[in-house]
Structure 1
Amino acid sequence: MPSDPGAADLPALLDHVLSSLSEDKAEDVVTIDLKGKSEMADHMVICSGRSSRQVVALADKLVERLKAGPGVPCKVEGKEAGDWVLIDTGDVIVHVFRPEVREFYQLEKMWQHTGPIPPRVDRTDAPA
C-alpha cells in the first residue's frame, strides 16, 4: 500500500473500478493505458450505460464503492445531465457515457493512437 493513506495501488484501484462497472452491467468497457501518453493519469476507463439513469447510477455506485473500499476520493463531473459522467480518481479516469454521446466523442480512438509524451523543455535552461 502506498504511503499516502488516500491512495490505492494502481492495479488494485483499476481492478476495483472494473469490478464495480461489471457488477452494475456497464456496457462496452474499454481500458486504455495512458502511461507515457499523458501525465494526468495512468489509465482511462470508458464505458456505456443504456440510459441517462443508468449512466448516473453507474457513476454513483462506483464513487460509493471507491470511498467505502479503498478509500479513494473522487472528483465527479457531468452527473446532472447524465449523458457523460467523468470520475477522476487521480490515477484512473473513468468516463461513463450514453452510447450516442460516446459515439460522438470517440475518446477511444483519440487516446489509443497517441504516441509518447515529448520531453519537457525547462524554460529556465533554454537559450535566449
Structure 2
Amino acid sequence: MPSAETIAEAARKSLDDSKAEDIVIIDIHDKSSLADVMIVASGRSHRHVGAIADRLIDDLEKVGAHAPRVEGLPHCDWVLVDAGDVLINLFRPEVRGFYALEKMWSADAPAPRATSRG
C-alpha cells in the first residue's frame, strides 16, 4: 500500500486534471484515527462530480491504492472515496457549503478547560 503522501498527491493531481474546484487538503492525523489526510473538492454538477470520482478511482488504483471504497456515486451530490489513510470528499458546491467539512476539520482543537477546585 502506498503512503498517505503518495495517495494524497495522486488524488490532488487527479482532481486538478479533472478540473475539480476549490481543492483543499487537510492534515487530520492528529485529529482523527480515521485517516491522515482529508481532501475536499467541488464539481460543477452531478455529472462533473461523477466524472471526477470515476477518474480519481482509476488514478488511485494506478498508484496502488487497491479498491478504494466509494459512497454516494449514484446521486453525486457528495461522493466519498476512502483510500485508506486518505479520505476524498467530492461535492456539488451548494452541498459542500451546507456541510462545511473543511471548516470543521481545519479548526484547531479547543483548549482544555481549567477546572476550579473549591
| TM-score between the two structures when normalised by the length of structure 1 | 0.82
Structure 1 Cα separation of the partners of residues 73 and 36 of structure 2: 23
Gaps of 5+ in 2: 111-118
Q: What percentage of aligned pairs have identical amino acids?
A: 45
The count of residues paired between Structure 1 and Structure 2 equals 111
Matched position secondary structure for 1:103: helix
Partner residue in 2 for 1:32: 26
Alignment correspondent of 1:80: 74
Structure 1 Cα separation of the partners of residues 105 and 92 of structure 2: 19
Alignment of 1:1-128 (within 5 A): 7-115=1-109
Q: Name the SS for the 1:25 alignment partner.
A: coil
**CA–CA separation in structure 1 for the residues paired with 2:33 and 2:95:** 25
**TM-score (norm: length of structure 2):** 0.89
Instruction: Could you list the structure 1 runs, at least 4 aligned residues long, displaced by more than 6 angstroms after superposition.
Output: none
Contact 1:21–1:62 (CA under 8 A) maintained in structure 2: yes
Partners of 1:62 and 1:101 lie apart in 2 by: 20
Residue 97 (structure 1) shift: 0.2
Q: 1:69 Cα shift?
A: 2.8
| Unmatched runs of 5 consecutive residues or more in structure 1 | 1-6, 117-128
Distance in 2 (alpha carbons) for counterparts of 1:81 and 1:10: 28
